[in-house]
């Protein structure tokens, strides 16, 4: 199975082994490291779940650990960051390897939601952005 980033409502960057992602429709901001970041970036760049499982086995991850992958994929879909791919991306999967012994590390915040979701044209008070119209 392949996933893809829900563009343009979701944006992300993968840098220094860290994923920073934001759902612009909900304002939920997610920071991922280690295994979370590697898996998310792999999926976002077109690596199939089957290839990821194969790479995880090669890297020495236990079956129980690998079984958790789907839970995280589903969570990223639920957060509006990923969806089932409508177009299969470039075949990056052949060379995919996974770093051994990583853990899932993921934090998310929603305290910017109000700001991110505000329509600056219609929802902003005369005081201006970012003051909502009802304040």
Partner 1 sequence: MIVIIVKSVLIVSAGRQFHLETEIPVFVGTTSTRGEWLQQCAASFKHRLFTPIVDDATQELAQIKFIHETFRHERFLFLHDSVEILDDRFFELIDATSGSVALFGDPVPFGMFMGVFERKVLDSVPLWQPASKEAAARAELLWTTRYARAAEPYTILFPDVCDRKAVRVVERFGRKNLVLENEFIRKYKGTWGMNPYALRGR
Task: Give the residues lining the site for partner 1 (CB under 8 A).
Answer: 8-9, 11-13, 15-16, 18, 20-22, 24-25, 27, 29, 31, 109, 112, 115-121, 124, 127-130
Residue 120: count of CB within 10 angstroms of its CB: 10
In the complex, the smallest distance separating the C-beta of residue 65 from partner 1, rounded to whole angstroms, is 26
Burial class (CB in 10 A: 0-12, 13-18, 19+), 64: exposed
Shorter beta-carbon distance to partner 1: residue 37 or 56 = 37
N-term to C-term CA, the chain: 47
Least distance (Å) between residue 26 CB and partner 1: 10
- At its nearest, how many Å lie between partner 1 and the CB of residue 121? 7
What is the token pair recorded at 69?
């992958």
Q: Which is nearer to partner 1, 16 or 94 (CB)?
A: 16
If 0-12 CB within 10 Å is exposed, 13-18 middle and 19+ buried, where does residue 36 land?
buried
- How far is 113 from 29, CA to CA, in rounded Å? 8
**Minimum distance of partner 1 from residue 76's CB (angstroms):** 16
Q: Which is nearer to partner 1, 86 or 128 (CB)?
A: 128
């Amino acid at each position: 199975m392949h996933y893809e980033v829900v563009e343009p409502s979701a944006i992300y960057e993968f840098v220094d082994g860290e994923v920073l992602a934001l759902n612009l429709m909900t304002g939920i901001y997610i920071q991922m490291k280690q295994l979370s970041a590697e898996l998310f970036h792999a999926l976002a760049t077109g690596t199939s779940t089957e290839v990821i499982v194969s790479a995880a086995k090669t890297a020495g991850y236990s079956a129980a650990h690998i079984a958790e992958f789907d839970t995280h994929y589903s969570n990223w879909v639920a957060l509006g960051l990923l969806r089932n791919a409508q177009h299969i991306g470039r075949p990056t999967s052949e060379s995919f390897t996974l770093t051994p012994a990583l853990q899932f590390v993921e934090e998310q915040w929603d305290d910017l939601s109000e700001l991110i979701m505000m329509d600056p044209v219609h929802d902003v008070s005369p005081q201006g952005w970012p003051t909502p119209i009802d304040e």
